Structure 1
Amino acid sequence: MTRKTKVLFVCLGNICRSPMAEAVMRHFVMEEKLADVIEVDSAGTGDWHIGKQPHEGTRTLLDNKQISYTGMKARQITGSDEVDFQYIVCMDDQNLKDVQAVFNAAKADGAKGKVITFMSLVDGAEVTEVPDPYYTGNFEYVYELIDEGCRKLLEDIKSEWK
């Protein structure tokens, strides 16, 4: 376990779902004292919010849960992310397609990222994609999905080390 396992969460604008997942996963990583071996980031497929902090609804929810989002700023996914991250976790099917298109266009040497949908980590949910609270306003439901999925992903990562 000499190199870090790097996780990238991806949504459309990188202000609601993916930064929430980044903050929650970082929180779990810190709780388990694994920050030296797991690195977490997030990105968006669109460029509208580059440099902006998470959406007010995401910030309010994270504040209420006492989960830090300090220093988080929106960025857009790049072709090199497929090389830099072992896990690229997309919040919905369109993000998955957009990420695959970026990676296919980049044709990055040494690509090793495993691109998956976030909901593949959540058992028995009534949805197949993480709803975008930018449109639904339901940040709490998104948090519940993200909490469960991040816990599962962390367990999956730890089991790979054995």
Structure 2
Amino acid sequence: MRILFVCLGNICRSPMAEAVMRDLLMKRGLSEQITVDSAGTSNWHVGEPPHKGTQAKLAEYGIATTGMQCRQLKIGDFADFDYIVGMDISNVDNIRKMLKQPNDAKIFRFLDLTAHQKDVPDPWYTGDFQETYNLCLEGCEALLEKVLADMQKS
């Protein structure tokens, strides 16, 4: 199974979700069965590492970002990933337009799998990387349960 997390710039929220999910998968011994990546709908930061705030927050929890680089969402991502997860509703709308997939269920908003059912606030604007981390952890745990349930069905 392959998961792609997507936000606007791919330097704050989606790389944080990618790193958190990788950490969960490693701890559960699932890194071979489930892989993750992240992308942005814009091309503003292509080739850059995650934001320093993202790196610092993840480091507090012992989660590495080594080798992670921003990339832009591309049309081939639709075929390459089983789940394409937007960090907010605007991201989901942009993903659907960019991938020309207006209704496909594998594209959805990250926190719709949780009790929050809201957007992940962008710490680029809020400065609150702790809130983003907390929501990413909760969302990744919920997404992992969904993925594992879907794997059992197939």
- Displacement, 1:157? 0.9
Alignment match of 1:11 (pick from 7, 10, 15): 7
- Whether contact under 8 Å (1:82, 1:113) holds in the other structure is no
Q: Determine which of 125, 129, 136 is the counterpart of 1:139.
A: 129
Is 1:130 paired with 2:120?
yes
Which residue matches 1:109? none
The separation in 1 between residues aligned to 2:69 and 2:60, in whole angstroms, is 20
Count of matched residue pairs: 151
Partner of 1:120: 112
Cα RMSD after superposing both structures: 1.6
Once the two structures are TM-superposed, the CA of residue 161 in structure 1 deviates from its matched residue by 2.3
Matched, 1:62 2:58: yes
TM (norm. structure 2) is 0.94
What is residue 31 of structure 2 aligned with on the other side? Answer: 35
Extract structure 1 runs of 4+ deviating beyond 6 A. Answer: none
* Matched residue, 1:108: none
DSSP 3-state at the match of 1:161: helix
The sequence identity of aligned pairs, in percent, is 47
Q: Does 1:80 align with 2:72?
A: no
Question: Is 1:121–1:149's contact at 8 Å kept on the other side of the alignment?
Answer: yes
2:144 — aligned with what? 154
